[in-house]
Amino acid sequence: MSPNVPLDTVSVIGLGYIGLPTAAVLAQAGKTVIGVDVKQTNVDAINAGTVPFVEEGLESVVAGVVAQGKLSAQLETPKADAYIVSVPTPFKGDHDADLSYIESAASGIAPKLTGGELIVLESTAPPGATERMAEVILEARPEFTGEPNLPNSLYFSHAPERVLPGRIMIEMVDNDRIIGGMTPEAAELNRDLYASFCRGELLVTDAKTAEMAKLTENAFRDVNIAFANELSIIADRQGIDVWELIELANHHPRVNILQPGPGVGGHCIAVDPWFIVSADRQFSNLIRTAREVNDSKPELVIEKVLEKADKFKHPTVAALGIAFKANIDDLRESPSRNIAGSLAERLTDGTVLVVEPNVDELPQELAARDNVELAELDVALERADIVLLMVDHDPFKEIDRTLLQEKIVIDTKGLWR
């Protein structure tokens, strides 16, 4: 039985790709939501009813709940009945998790607590991160306890997201969720809060298992992508069309090989498996190898382009797509973004024309290069000697193939087979 704790006012710490949608659906469900972000520009945009990034369906929801007074944003952590921490969890050193953002968020929450609050870590994190968040808060406020059902109780839980960029507003509501409490009472409170907006099944467990479950989901996908990527390398060396090979193999009733690409990007699959590796370096051999295979794929793409570029005195490469997946503007951990930068660095007498229909300006490391331009698709195709397809955005599917006939085409996604 969950404690009798009000959950009417919720503060979401971190208004990024997960935090803002979470805040929006909670506000849509009737909660009073106060978002907290470190960027004034994000705060101003949200308070104006707009969003600082592209996500299908998000802006209309944000505009509505802001107009209703159910969602606001600010720089400082407020008092609230519940806190949801949705901040970055990058890695450092030898792929160890950097928990400094979580610790900073916890330090900001601690002074605002009066007892009875629910504090949820939603950031994807290694086993023990929720416990570390609790430690930071309880060390700052020793008068409180993580034991349940006392006047000075605090309730700590972990509820990892499992949504797909481009479908976040649908999957945030419809997908099943894992709820991992540091105590059963914390899990019940967390489930009560998420039941206000989530139609999927809410699966209750302990915090450490919930942390590991999210990492396991992404490591599973990473291992399967690595198989496809490694297969593509071997097939290329053997003169075999990997796309036909996979298509044929997948006719087996128990085989479902994924599609290869230029690498693996995003803040989930490219990062989370390393948290398992860092948690147990002795027995995570398969997971580590999969990460190494996927991390090595961009260099092979670069080498293939450079080999073709040697045919030209001043080669021009059209790099199609630098987002980490199709039809989004998210460039985090994008292998395509890194490939474009490496090509620009190595093609000292060449030009890289970046075509990314979902952004209005290049990231700084590309914009600062004299031989890199953000170009429209038709202009890039006309000027290019080499067309390198790295992301299967919808506009690229519709290209008139006759425009490619006189070009060297390197299609890492099998889009133009």
d(CA 377, CA 38): 35
214 counts as catalytic:
yes
Whether 115 and 151 have beta carbons less than 8 Å apart is answered as: yes
Q: Could you say which DSSP state residue 38 is in?
A: S
Rounded to an integer, what is the distance from CA 351 to the centroid of its chain? 30
d(CA 270, CA 340): 18
What per-residue string of b and e applies to 264-285 under the rule 16 or more CB within 10 Å gives b?
Answer: bbbbbbbbbbbbbbbbeeeebe
Helix (H, G, I), strand (E, B) or coil at 163: coil
198 counts as catalytic:
no
Q: Could you say which DSSP state residue 153 is in?
A: B
Provide φ and ψ at 189, rounded to 5°.
-60, -45
Q: Which of 162, 172, 215, 165 is nearest to 325 (CA)?
A: 165
- Residues 6 or more apart from 11 whose CB is under 8 A from it? 33, 34, 35, 36, 77, 78, 80, 82, 83, 84, 109
Given 198, 268, 325, 413, the catalytic residue: 268
Which tokens sit at 377? 């698709």
**Which helix (H) or strand (E) is 238 found in, with range?**
none
Given 214, 297, 325, 413, the catalytic residue: 214
d(CA 241, CA 217): 30
d(CA 181, CA 163): 21
252: number of Cβ within 10 Å:
9
Q: Which residue in this structure is represented by tokens 């990058």?
A: 90
Which tokens sit at 358? 């979902």
Q: Provide the annotated active-site residues.
A: 214, 268
